[in-house]
Structure 1
């Protein structure tokens, strides 16, 4: 199945990202990790939209290096599992 067949475009990515990062901000386990580091969500959201567009649509809009920034975060497998759970639930509700 192609991306066109399931109609993923920048609008779908933006709606999903808005929903996902909104949920992240209010999550009792990982919300504080984000809150302590992101003081202005709009620029961060724009970077994430570029990132997801690059990953999903191969748009090449994102040219950053996310691993160095994320590698120093105080997270463990439990935090990442929660991130994945929120991501999966968001994707399923955005379809």
Structure 2
């Protein structure tokens, strides 16, 4: 599918450049990311682990997201829209878009479910998480 470390680095760079410029998500990241090169390197390792089974990521994304007050579904919707825009610009094949997009959506839905369960204490899980495939 053409997914390699160089592609992942380009995707991470393009995506987070759009995040920083985004009126809604930019301030959330700006308040938490002090060293962008360090954050981008961490996100590269995260996506390499997800897409290449590299196993070089260590961290706890759930705890990081739980610590952000007010983070909710509309933020994840926006995150996915920006992610898909970067992905469509750079992906080498339609199969790569489908594969990586599905992984991103699954991660976002998992994080949002965790927020609803752990932060919001929605034990009944009355809401099913279904973020858009954009």
TM-score (norm 2): 0.65
**Count of residues paired in the alignment:** 90
| CA distance, structure 2, for counterparts of residue 80 and residue 60 of structure 1 | 25
Q: 1:42 aligns with which of 37, 42, 64?
A: 37
Secondary structure of the 2:39 match is helix
CA RMSD in angstroms comes to 0.7
Secondary structure (helix, strand or coil) at the match of 2:31 reads: helix
Counterpart Cα distance in 1 of 2:72 and 2:59: 23
Provide the rounded CA distance (Å) in 2 between the counterparts of 1:92 and 1:7.
13
Between 1 and 2, higher relative CO (CA 8 Å, sep ≥ 6) is seen in: 1
Match of 1:91 in 2: 87
Question: 2:26 aligned with 1:31, yes or no?
Answer: yes
Residue of structure 2 equivalent to 1:77: 73
Deviation at 1:64, TM superposition (A): 1.4
TM-score with structure 1 length normalisation?
0.91
Structure 1 consecutive aligned stretches of length 4 or more whose deviation exceeds 3 Å: none
